[in-house]
Amino acid sequence: MAIGNHSSVTEFFLVGLSQYPELQLSLFVLCLIMYLIILLGNSLLITISILDSRLHTPMYFFLGNLSFLDICYTTSTIPQMLITFGSERKSISFIGCVLQMVVSLGLGSTECVLLAMMAYDRYVAICNPLRYPIIMNRVLCMHMATWSWITGYLNSLVQTSFTMVLPFCGNNIIDHITCEIVALLKLVCSDITINILIMTVESIVLLMIPLTLIFISYVFILSSILRINSAEGRKKAFSTCSAHLTVVILFYGSALFMYMKPKSKDTKTSDEIIGLSYGVVTPMLNPIIYSLRNKEVKEAVMKVLNRHLHRWKICKALRHVISLMRNKIRSFAFTNEVREPRVKGAFVLAKPIMELPCFST
């Protein structure tokens, strides 16, 4: 491709991990399986939090936002990863790369703020339990969630706009598995001091400040837990925030490594693996962590499954009974023509039952 400005670049080539051709099929299968787990697990959490009235609380409202965010984030990146791992031509259009960067960076930034909001929710629940329903009212929760999304996408739009107006000088090979902003800035052939400054400031605002607030919240939470007299009470209080704390460690560990470490001109394999962990593994583990470490979620899942299983068993039994009745009525109709009106009436009465959804074939 001829050397020129960014307008001459119509596509990018994602060559991350391409130095291991023997692993491409394994990576494809692994990412596909993890993507299906992400969709299933997070969709289940959202469905459970809607169906079970006991989970209509601020904690599960934010958890529903987090699950929806993880589904959107992985959908913006993993399908392109699967195409990259499964084909010889590892390209993405210029517009596609811009959209992927806007969506993924916006959702990643939103998650930073959302995790801080969830930490505040746990702080109020444990440190001010009597005032919890008053403080964490529906209006405040809606505002907190809304501003998390707005803040995340404002950051994304600013960083993407300042990056995509720079000249790429024909260099369109991205040494990464996604259109990640740090990898893309390495292709720019002009001064990127302003971009690095903006990225540093927004990393501090959206990574360090929320992480500091989370840390302060857990200092107060731990102090309150230690003041509880009974061991059972301390265990119950800690269990309500242990899942969130685990997710924070996983998310911020990989995010800080990606965005706060010194920038180098070459992308290392460790950077790509951390990127894969940040974009795929963490969203997959979130619903598993909240399911395994949260008694209410496990009980809600079992309740919904038992309810549908019980309904299925009843429908199956009724279907068998109605089928027997229908056969008896038909045989009765052939041997007793005098009672044909009554037989027809029995069919008329049985028809509405047979049209129920559980009897449909």
Q: 335 falls in which pLDDT band (50, 70, 90)? A: low
Stated as kind and residue range, the H or E segment containing 255 is helix 231-260
* Helix 231-260 × helix 94-127 angle, to 10°: 150
Model confidence at 252: pLDDT above 50? yes
Q: 339 falls in which pLDDT band (50, 70, 90)? A: very low
**Cα 156 vs. chain centroid, distance in angstroms?**
18
Model confidence at 313: pLDDT above 90? no
**Cα 76 vs. chain centroid, distance in angstroms?**
11
List own/partner pairs for 188-195 with CB under 8 A and 24 or more apart: 188/163, 190/166, 192/166, 194/162, 195/159, 195/162, 195/163, 195/166
Q: 291 falls in which pLDDT band (50, 70, 90)? A: confident
Q: What is the pLDDT of the chain when averaged over all its residues? A: 80
Q: 4 falls in which pLDDT band (50, 70, 90)? A: very low
Residue, of 77 and 290, whose pLDDT is higher: 77
Q: Which pLDDT does position 67 carry in this prediction?
A: 93
Model confidence at 192: pLDDT above 90? no
Q: What percent of the chain has pLDDT over 90?
A: 28
Q: 12 falls in which pLDDT band (50, 70, 90)? A: confident
**Cα 110 vs. chain centroid, distance in angstroms?**
12
Q: Among 5-14, 104-113, 250-259, 352-361, which is the least confidently predicted range?
A: 352-361
Q: Which pLDDT does position 140 carry in this prediction?
A: 95
Residue, of 114 and 257, whose pLDDT is higher: 114
**Alpha-carbon distance 45 to 41, whole Å?**
6
Q: Which pLDDT does position 331 carry in this prediction?
A: 67
Q: Are strands 11-14 and 173-174 parallel, antiparallel or unpaired?
A: parallel
pLDDT tens by residue, 216-249: 999 999 999 888 888 888 887 787 788 888 889 8
Stated as kind and residue range, the H or E segment containing 275 is helix 269-276
Query: Any idea which residue has 């929760």 for tokens?
Result: 141
Q: Which pLDDT does position 5 carry in this prediction?
A: 43
CA 276 → CA 9, 21, 31, 74, 281, distances in Å? 26, 17, 9, 11, 7
Q: Which pLDDT does position 6 carry in this prediction?
A: 43
> Mean per-residue pLDDT for 267-280?
71
> Mean per-residue pLDDT for 96-100?
90
Q: 1 falls in which pLDDT band (50, 70, 90)? A: very low
Residue, of 35 and 308, whose pLDDT is higher: 35
Q: Which pLDDT does position 361 carry in this prediction?
A: 45
Q: 172 falls in which pLDDT band (50, 70, 90)? A: confident
pTM: 0.78
Q: 272 falls in which pLDDT band (50, 70, 90)? A: confident
